[in-house]
Structure 1
Amino acid sequence: MTEEHYLSGRILLAMPGMFDPRFERSVNVMCVHDENGALGIGVGQAREDVRFHDVLRELGIDPGKAPDREVCHGGPVEPGRGFILHSVDWGGSDTIAVQPLCALSASLDVLRAIAEGRGPRQWVMALGYAGWGAGQLEGEMRHHGWYAAEPHPEVLFGTPVDERWDATWQAEGIDPALLSSETGNA
């Protein structure tokens, strides 16, 4: 697979009929995808047990000016590890570019900056991530698992969590109700 075929910076959508029920209607921001594997942050399902202020308080950070937003279920891997997907107007020493969609930070610095009102203009928090080994994601895509959407920052930052799956399909110009829930063989 050539570099231009890697999916970093795109939004990965679970296809209707996804073979793994844990990822039904899943929306993942693809942060890393190369010959070694892939890492995505789920942004399409909110955690019911925790909100942003809960995370800040648990870490000993005064919520200050931070809005008390939903926290996304980022994925099944390391569900206690936090990630902030954010606009590129803020950056810390650990921030990585997820071009052209956003940036990713996972340090206390970004949490403190948000709480103090000097953080990124737009942000989404998630706990956990989805990971794929070398070639695994490509195999899942061939077996009707995933659709790689273009980057849509307006969906990531401007759409309620539970509406992001439908909104991303709409931004792609696709009605998911018209998609088949299985693939065939010719």
Structure 2
Amino acid sequence: MLGVDASPEVLGGAGGRQTASVSDDHGTVVTLRDGAPVRLRPIRPDDEKRLLALAERLSPRTVYQRFFSVRRLRPEDARALVDVDYRERMAIVAEVDAEETTELIGVARYAPSGEPFTVEIALVVEDRWQGLGLGSILLDEILRAAAARGIHRFTADVLTENRRMLRLLSGHTVITNHTTSDGVTTLVFHPKESGELHA
């Protein structure tokens, strides 16, 4: 389920982002449109508590956009979400320094979809960090991470009312198929070539 909040804050280009991509556990630092530095890196098993904390800070609307439910993330859910093999299952987190710790403020991931050679993408950004280009950055990074692992075909479920999210996807990918049922649009897509982005 792809559920970055449908509000305008989530959309737009990557602003002042750097072009370096996440390639190892140390990740890279990107700059958001307001000048804030954000570190991107692969998710780790010790992110479980940070992921739960992120989920608790999400607004009910953002939770619903991401999970199609108002139910909050449970510890066992977080444990499963940090358990990735970095190939068939991958997640990239965005984190910032907060006093004496770090906070996760966004996550993009892919996982097997049940269809051959296809993975499902999911994405969420904390409400107060929306509107700064982070959703676009995370989407680009997870697509790039998948491509580096030989994965080029994706699917996502998006609430049909979430027109802004659908436009974000169409700006970053080539949609090859879409179906709608019970208020959910299922998309099949592949990344655009770099010269086609935001065309």
* TM > 0.5: no
Using the size of structure 2 for normalisation, the TM-score is: 0.27
Q: TM-score, normalised by structure 1?
A: 0.28
Structure with a larger share of its residues in helix = 2
Larger Rg: 1
Higher relative contact order structure (alpha carbons within 8 Å, sequence separation ≥ 6): 1
